[in-house]
Amino acid sequence: MARPKRVRIIKKIRESSGVWRFVSLERIGARYVWDQRSGRYFLEWWEGKKRRRQTAGQTPSEVLEAQRRKRNELIGQMLSGGSAPPVELETIATPIASACEMFLDHVRVHSPDKPRTHQRYRKVLEHFERVLGGRRFVEAITRKDVDDYQTARSQEYSQQHGHRRITPRTINYEVSVLRTFFNFLINERGVQLENPCARFKPLRDPKEKARRRPPVYSQAELDRLFELCSEFERAVFATFLLTGVRDQELSFLQWPDIDLRRGRAALQVTGDGKDGFSPKDYEERILPIPAELAEFLKKLPRYSEWVFPTAKGGRSTHLLRRLKDLAAEAGIGHATLHKFRHTYATRLLESGCDIVTVQNLMGHSDIETTRQYLDPDDELKRRAVNRLSIKQK
């Protein structure tokens, strides 16, 4: 049998001296590493004792397509000669650093109004490069490497809380980001590999399992807080409490988003015409406004496009700082803006609202997220049990 013919990819680069030369590409197994230097790629193969070369292009897709065509051409020639020895096909490997930047560029372009998502993804990929960067190429990452990543991260400590180890919940989130990262490479960039994060079993978190429903404000805490509020602050925190909006959703509220007509008062969460913002998971929704809140909003001055502007008319971005100051004065611990949202959902469910309606009002994409609010407190349990009797009522 004739010797197999290999269609190889090489590159012609120009050195600093101005001299052009062909260089071999670095390889991982049977894969080429994409060369970042400027130049042009060529195909190289042998016909007997003669070496042949032809241009292949400048981009990965051009090179791979040229290699495929040349391989088929050589196979056709061999078939016409009565024999068909295999033609080796070699592909290109992808450096981890290059793959990470490709993914982050994709997120930046396709989700320009999600800068926080981009920041979180970048942080995860920084950990990924640091822990598994020694593998060099994404094609070399295996399921075992992901397991090693989980083990390594579980032994590290949080940068924000130096005394606390990275939690299983955080590591599970990071693996979910890496799953998305590898799916992007496979589906969008055509990288030939199996997703090493597919069907990965999440780490168990004993603290997560024992965790009760999200913390809420008691009525006594709310009474003390609103007593200290100015008229503007009362409208801000009442909007959080009575609509369940997220902090960014509130800070980006504009007057066209508010309808204060009698009996139909509503607030629209939308990203239309708002640079740098879109609702989480792009979940736009319309929220009914209680009459009490409608009265608060009617009293607000309208000197800005924003419903809750700064004194100079800009968009408010320091509401948490003001809440912390008021909470400290009112003797309220662990005060956060998101705690209003927890209180809103909990009160809706406790009042008898069905879970699907609450899911819609909260803008949850997964009903399991809403279900966490269903765990009743001790007082509600006691009142429910006290209604029981040995006699039928």
pLDDT of residue 24: 79
Band of the pLDDT at 46, cuts 50, 70, 90? confident
Task: Give the residue, 166 or 375, on which the prediction is more confident.
Answer: 166
Q: What is the mean pLDDT of residues 346-366?
A: 86
pLDDT of residue 4: 47
Q: What is the mean pLDDT of residues 64-90?
A: 64
383, containing H or E segment: helix 378-386
CA-CA distance, 245 to 232, in Å (whole number)?
17
Distances (CA, A) of 328 to 317, 322, 332: 20, 10, 6
Give 218-275 pLDDT, tens digit per residue.
Answer: 999 999 999 999 999 999 999 999 999 999 889 989 999 999 987 788 888 887 767 7
Instruction: Indicate the Cα dihedral angle 366, 372, 375, 379, nearest 10°.
Output: -120
pLDDT of residue 378: 60
Domain boundaries, the chain: 5-93, 96-210, 219-382
The CATH number of the structural domain formed by 219-382 is: 1.10.443.10
**Who's near 147: CB < 8 A, 6+ residues apart?**
none
> Which of 9-18, 153-162, 174-183, 254-263 is the most confident on average?
174-183
Band of the pLDDT at 122, cuts 50, 70, 90? very high
Residue 54: Cβ-neighbour burial (10 angstroms; 0-12, 13-18, 19+): exposed
Predicted confidence (pLDDT) at residue 165 exceeds the cutoff of 80:
yes
Q: What are phi and psi of 28, to 5 degrees?
A: -125, 110
Amino acid at 185: L
CA-CA distance, 307 to 260, in Å (whole number)?
13
CB contact burial 68-94 (16+ within 10 A = b; e otherwise): eebbeebeeebeeeeeeeebeebbbbb
Contact 164, 157 (CB under 8 A): yes
Q: Which fold has domain 96-210?
A: DNA polymerase; domain 1 (1.10.150)
SS3 385: helix
pLDDT of residue 84: 47
**Among 23-27, 153-157, 310-314, which is the least confidently predicted range?**
23-27
Give 292-345 pLDDT, tens digit per residue.
Answer: 999 999 999 999 999 999 989 999 888 999 999 999 999 999 999 999 999 999
Q: What is the mean pLDDT of residues 108-130?
A: 88
Amino acid at 327: A
Distances (CA, A) of 255 to 19, 71, 269: 65, 64, 12
Q: Name the percent of the chain lying above pLDDT 70.
A: 83
Give 176-230 pLDDT, tens digit per residue.
Answer: 999 999 999 988 888 878 899 988 888 887 665 545 568 899 999 999 999 999 9
DSSP 279: -
The count of other CB atoms within 10 Å of the CB of residue 196 is: 21
Distances (CA, A) of 156 to 131, 167, 201, 261, 393: 11, 9, 20, 54, 58
CA-CA distance, 196 to 194, in Å (whole number)?
6
Q: Give yes or no on whether 96-210 and 219-382 have one common fold.
A: no
Predicted confidence (pLDDT) at residue 377 exceeds the cutoff of 80:
no
